[in-house]
Amino acid sequence: MTPKPRILVTRLLPAAVMERLNRDYDVIDNADDAQLSQEEILQRAEAADGILCGPTNLFDRALIEKLPDTVKVLTTFSVGYDHLDVSAAQEKGIALGNTPDVLTDATADIALLCLLGAARMAHSSAMTLRNGEWTQWSSTQFLGVHVTGKKLGILGMGRIGQAVARRAKGFDMEIHYHNRRPVNARGLEDAIYHDSADSLFKVSEFLSINCGLTKETRYAVNDETIALMPDGAVIVNTARGPIVEDAALIRALTSGKVAAAGLDVFENEPVLNPDYLQLDNLFVLPHIGSATVETRDAMGFKCLDNLDAFFKGEPIPNPITA
């Protein structure tokens, strides 16, 4: 009987995903869901044929070059792959896969939650109530930013950006976007394209960040670009934390240049900059964009589809190619 391929799984995955993994593969698991160091990954990968990693595992060039030659495939439990050195993997002959499409709606839902939660002071008002500090209704308390009819700038008009735009149109928001090229998307024919991020920032009363993290987009939101935005703007980030320079956003939230921010991601996750905790105009979540049972299962199954195809000698259905 042909032995099952041996797969290192660096994070604990949903039960249904682990069940299928254990059925079809010889699994080196991480039942405690500990954040493995690169040294621990190398030790566990010693006899592995493939790796299923999470977005918190950094596979940089140094680690990839040290992986045993038996490792021929690496699939990540994420759409983004900024934690993988693609060039190093390709040079070593390791096939790469990810999980596109299945988390679009869940992440777009969270973007709208962050947008509304920030604009309408959801955190500070709820905490006032929970702490027993709300004693009477007042016409001047918890005054947020009106959403309906405002200009929404979308930085990155891929699948998730388009899903955010469609949801925002339900609030009669005027959609503006910057992307590498204009898009022709159903229901977004009237969206206004900006050929530069600076042009987008200048009109964005609300800004939703939905681009990938690259050398070009790291700290795309900083003191200079925030200064371009209308006073009292609202910034939402559900993409990758380092696209926003936290220190710059904190300064803008403190000064009032930015009225509020809604973040599902931030720099140095899971450690939140403590200066954020002093702000009442921040709505922040612990990176839950894809956190529904259906979505996380679907992401895991995409990873397994990648592994299944690879070990059958077929093309990976969800490849990372660049």
Catalytic residues: 240, 269, 287
Neighbours of 123 (CB within 10 A): 19
Phi, psi (degrees; rounded to nearest 5) at 95: -75, 140
Q: Measured between alpha carbons, how far is 224 from 182 in angstroms, rounded to an integer? A: 25
Distances (CA, A) of 65 to 24, 42, 58, 94: 28, 11, 13, 10
| Phi, psi dihedrals of residue 145, rounded to the nearest 5° | -105, 130
Two tokens at 256? Answer: 């009032």
* Neighbour count for residue 97 (Cβ, 10 Å): 24
Place of tokens 């926003």: 244
Q: Which residues 6+ apart lie within 8 Å of 251 measured at CB?
A: 223, 257
From the CB of residue 52, how many other CB atoms can be counted at a distance below 10 Å?
29
3-state secondary structure of 58: coil
CA-to-CA separations, 259 to 114, 147, 226, 292, in angstroms, rounded:
13, 12, 12, 30
Residue 283 sits at φ, ψ, to 5 deg, of -115, 115
